[in-house]
Amino acid sequence: MKVLVTGAKGFIGRNLLAHLKSMRQFEIYEYNRESETQILDVYCQEVDFVFHLAGVNRPEDESDYMKGNFEFTLELLNRLEKYGNTCPILMSSSIQAQLNNSYGISKKASENLLFQYGEETGARVLVYRLPNVFGKWCKPNYNSVVATFCYNIARELEVKVSDPLTTLNLVYIDDVIHEFIRALHGKGNFSGKYYEIPSVHQATLGQILDLIRFFKESRQNRYVPKVSNSFEKQLYSTYLSYLPTDKLSYKLKMNKDDRGSFTEFLKTPDRGQVSVNISGPGITKGNHWHHTKVEKFLVVKGEGVIRFRQIGSTEIIEYYVNGDELEVVDIPPGYTHNIENIGESDMVTIMWANEEFDPEKSDTYFSEV
């Protein structure tokens, strides 16, 4: 199948092209504002599906709205009609087409033109009125508040919010692309006159700003976002895509002593925390028990033995573990336990606890195994 993408260098176009190319099923024609106009004649003769994503949303002169949106749409449709090509056309419009501003008027005029073309030629037309789209590769400090917040906060630049209670409807770029691919295969989400992206989020500017600041602070406090919340998960992925390339890493505080080290890696208020424990050869750590706290130990390097003794019992239980055969050992409550490095090099253990460490309520009681 031959697919034409106009606006190929734009935010949505770039993401769509990356996905289409990864599928390796299509011959893709790319058209952008730098392309020679004549190439449209070649494309419009051969193409089997058009993603019409080109448009103007922030010109220097308001008259350019109609030129970049309506007039280019007319030019595209005239070429398709000239060659008798009635292939399906998907156009990305905007919810602003409902508004009486220059941009909205130009998008509404483009929609009407496309609908008229469909009636006259029998071509299948698919118009998506998109709300605020966010995700990787969107230009910051332009017309996306999410991109601007992510970019500026990642660089400790000023962020201005006129009204934090302003509510936005947002869709994630991957959800948009997924829906567009479904539409390409004739399975788009049709709702009356228009097609829609099924997954729309609502959030205030204040909520968005607070979340992005939380993401930035997570490097210091080691908290991770609630990935069970799709918006928070998608916003976090978006934020990370705006990190400066020389700021992709960050150091953790290693609590070191002559036995080795213990380092908190990440934590959540509802899923506990993960830490990295390094023990030198011959070192034993632990010898304590918990009433309620439980843990999981996973030795990923070296070899050791994990010992248990139930409180009130003299029986010792041993589990031998090593980094060559990964094995998770559960640490139940009511058992004093320790872990000993019985190898000749450092032993590295990943440890998960079902609660973050609270020095005021540690639920940790020392007792030799």
Beta bridge partners of 320: 305
Task: Show the tokens assigned to 96.
Answer: 């602003």
Instruction: Kindly name the residue from 31, 103, 151, 195 that is annotated as catalytic.
Output: 103
Residues facing residue 336 across a β-bridge: 309
103 catalytically annotated: yes
Which are the catalytic amino acids?
A: 103
